[in-house]
Structure 1
């Protein structure tokens, strides 16, 4: 049997039992330490950071009295509208003039003060008893102020309660430029609203379509946080606030805080 010279030479060399064995290179240990630090930081973050859990819903800036419809107590033909949208009216002010079936001129007056939201009656139009002449946003209540009415889907409103923080994105004040309008929940309706109830609050069936999209919503009333130093009179999430006053009937998108939750609890489903 023949053996190669190299194999015989290796056989003659003594075993190097006292030589150190390199299990991992320094570069490998650095990678292990980096991974451990990242995992530790992620664990600390998941236990200490609190994430905001919120519900989003559409709404509108308005007054506590909402909107009301001025209806005609007479039947006849419209002669002239005496008011127009965005006009302020006082209680008892004439809003339209009609000619009844006997040829007499009749005047329809507003029973309350407020701002005209819509006036769709035109000259020559036949009007029946109880038909809407104008829609008025009421401003005659003792606690009149600007607030937000938010329509939250009923299945998402169970955890809402007064005092919850609200951030409002105002359609006339881009959030990228002015931030979000601050507010607090003051009341949550106990029952869902019908489409007719929503229409009565926002000024008609056409406007109600944005807030009643198949599922009956619950009404959440949001008071705006005042800020005397702001041009609008209300607090915003940024120091640069809109240079004008907020107007009623302005659309908003609300984000209502439900609770805060750590990422660890979120993963566990708690």
Structure 2
């Protein structure tokens, strides 16, 4: 075989190898392109997943913020409700008087359940003597004769009437109907005293009188037959009262009897 033929064969073999290599490279290129596309798709999917996760994260943040706001609002509402309840408990557990004064008697006991209207005690209201008044109770037949404006003498039970007389006053109000023990207790504030005043009767006429002031006297009031005792008159003092329902000369009481006698004699 000539040298030229050998070179020719060698060249063809080389060409065949090169073609085989090219074919292999094409296959590898195709595989690389497929891998590239697969990787690209994977990247796209990953980016989509990342976007979803980012959106989900933002949604969770918004949900958490809304939940925090809702929780904070609920906490504030609970705190406000607790504050209201605490204030209500404090208000209901503390009894406040609308008047300034001094408590002179407590009738309620520790731990006693109280309802609106229950009596707790007696309060001596601070103020001037002009604020004091007299409350008296009369039998119905006597009380019906009493009218506002009638004079009244009020003698404290701690004072001797024979020596000092009584405090001069004037009827300012008279009940139109008999009052019950419960009604009198709401005014007097002492059920035991009211029971004694009522004396077992169904009801009595309530009279309220204004006391006449006299700053020159020790007590601060005008007395009927003297300057009064050297004694301060305090609220809650029990008294005996006398009301002048009519003033007539003695002859007016005698003449009806004479007329009655005359009528009998003529018969």
TM-score (norm 1): 0.53
The alpha-carbon distance between structure 1 residues 200 and 167, as it changes in their structure 2 partners (threshold 3 A), is: same
Residue in structure 1 matching 2:236, options 212, 236, 249: 249
Matched with 2:15 is: none
Residues 200 and 115 of structure 1: CA distance in aligned 2, closer, same or farther (over 3 Å): farther
Aligned with 1:116 (options 103, 117, 121)? 103
Cα displacement (A) at 1:209: 0.8
Q: How much has 1:250 moved relative to structure 2?
A: 0.5
1:150-161 matched pairs, under 5 angstroms = 150-161=136-147
**Higher RCO, 1 vs 2 (CA within 8 Å, ≥6 residues apart):** 1
Which residue does the alignment assign to 1:223? 210
- SS of 2:242's equivalent? strand
Residue 95 (structure 1) aligns with: none
What does residue 251 of structure 2 align with? 264
Say whether the 8 Å CA contact 1:188–1:220 is kept in structure 2: yes
Shift of residue 193 of structure 1? 0.4
**Matches of 2:206 and 2:190, distance apart in 1:** 16
Of 165, 168, 177, 1:182 maps to: 168
Q: Secondary structure at the match of 1:254?
A: strand
Matched-pair contact (CA < 8 Å) for 1:112–1:140 = no
Structure 1 unaligned regions, length at least 5: 1-103
CA shift for structure 1 position 110? 2.1
How far the C-alpha of 1:118 sits from its partner, in A, is 2.6
Q: Which moved more, 1:178-187 or 1:133-142?
A: 133-142
CA distance in structure 1 between the partners assigned to 2:212 and 2:114 by the alignment: 44
| Matched residue, 2:150 | 164
Q: Alignment RMSD, CA only?
A: 3.2
Q: How many residues align?
A: 167
Aligned to 1:193: 179
- 1:212 aligned partner: 198
Following superposition, the deviation at residue 240 of structure 1 comes to: 3.8
Offset at residue 249 of structure 1 (A): 0.5
TM-score by length of 2: 0.54
Q: Distance in 1 between matches of 2:157 and 2:128?
A: 28
| Alpha-carbon distance, 1:135 to partner | 2.1
Change (3 A) 1:152 1:109: same
Between Structure 1 and Structure 2, whose CA radius of gyration is higher?
2
Query: Taking structure 1 as reference, are residues 240 and 234 closer, same or farther at Cα in structure 2, changes over 3 Å only?
Result: closer
How does 1:21-36 map onto structure 2 within 5 Å? Answer: none
| Counterpart-to-counterpart distance in 2, 1:256 and 1:229 | 25
